[in-house]
Amino acid sequence: MDDSAESLVKVLYEKLDAKQRAAVCFAWDHRDERGLLRTHVSNNWHITSPVINTEFFTDEQRDLIRKIFEGIIRPEWQAKVDQQLQDDAGGFGNDQNIAIFGEPGSGKFEFVMTGRHMTLRCDGDSADHVAFGGPLFYGHAARDFNEAADHPGNVYWEQAVAANEVYRMLDGRQRTLAEVGQLPKESSVAFTGRDGMRPGIPVTELAGDQKGELQKVLAKLLEPYRQADQDEVHACLTAQGGLDACSLAFYTDRDIGGDRVWDN
């Protein structure tokens, strides 16, 4: 059996009974009060009500859900993400939910897993020009809700360290352009098109060595995910003009510790 995440979503879908499908399966373009549901994102939300580690799902179905998760996350990162889930939600499956949009194997489909500090997707390239099928969310409150300035134990802090290295390389004018005063809500972040307004400094304002360091940040951001998704991100980004079509922002309103080491 093909053990790709997409093929396992199809197997899971086929093993859901009518009652289960009514609760966790939706039409491709299903909308509710949150809008187009398959594209919604927040820092702590539940796309459906049934929790993975409950009797709503059979043992076999729960095993398939876990294998789908393992198919999306690179092996080198699975222990880290499991640690985040343990710290934030008592472990994998204990406070997460899933949804399936469309019919796997019969056209466009997407699998979404949600919970605290988690929005994870698998779409089999069903969403045109959109890597992962939509926005992701991840985070980690490793020890306390309000973390210390050095974020001890946070499995994702290394990404921010890499981004701060880019900031360190900016001159005064560039820093003024890059610093933005108010962090937006997760659900407010959206693609704006080629002519849209984007906060921060345009990447075209960076020097070659600064752009090289920014490429390292992009690689670090993609590192947790399987190679197929990384490749899709690069293809989508290239089609839109690459990093030169992007902007870089450092949000100053949540500078934990007041140390100008940017946390967001």
pLDDT tens by residue, 204-245: 999 999 999 999 999 999 999 999 999 999 999 999 899 999
Are 132 and 171 part of one and the same domain? no
pLDDT digit string, tens, across residues 57-96: 999 999 999 999 999 999 999 999 999 999 999 999 999 9
Residues 135-180: tens digit of each pLDDT: 999 999 887 776 767 787 999 999 999 999 999 999 999 999 999 9
What is the model's pLDDT at position 185? Answer: 72
Task: Assess if residue 240 is contained within a domain.
Answer: yes
Q: What is the pLDDT of residue 1?
A: 39
Task: Report the domain count for the chain.
Answer: 2
C-alpha distances out from residue 259 to 43, 164, 198, 248, 255, Å: 25, 12, 25, 19, 7
Q: Are 133 and 14 part of one and the same domain?
A: yes
Residue 210: inside a domain, yes or no?
yes
Mean pLDDT of 91-108: 94
At 241-264, the pLDDT tens digits run 999 999 999 999 878 788 888 876
Computed from CA positions of residues 141, 147, 148, 150, in that sequence, does the dihedral angle turn out positive or negative? positive
- Quote the longest CA-to-CA distance of the chain: 61
11 and 110 fall within a common domain = yes
**53 neighbors 93 (Cβ within 8 angstroms):** yes
Residue 151 inside a domain? The answer is no
Contact 99, 123 (CB under 8 A): no
Same-domain status, 125 and 162: no
Structural domain of residue 216, as residue ranges?
Answer: 157-258
Same domain, yes or no, for 184 and 217?
A: yes
The owner of tokens 């009514």 is: 22
Predicted TM-score (pTM) of the model is 0.91
**Beta-carbon-side half-sphere exposure of residue 97 (alpha carbons within 13 Å):** 15
Q: What six digits make up the tokens of 118?
A: 């988690």
Instruction: Please compute Rg for the chain using Cα positions.
Output: 19
Res 188 pLDDT > 90: no
Is 130 found in the same domain as 178? no
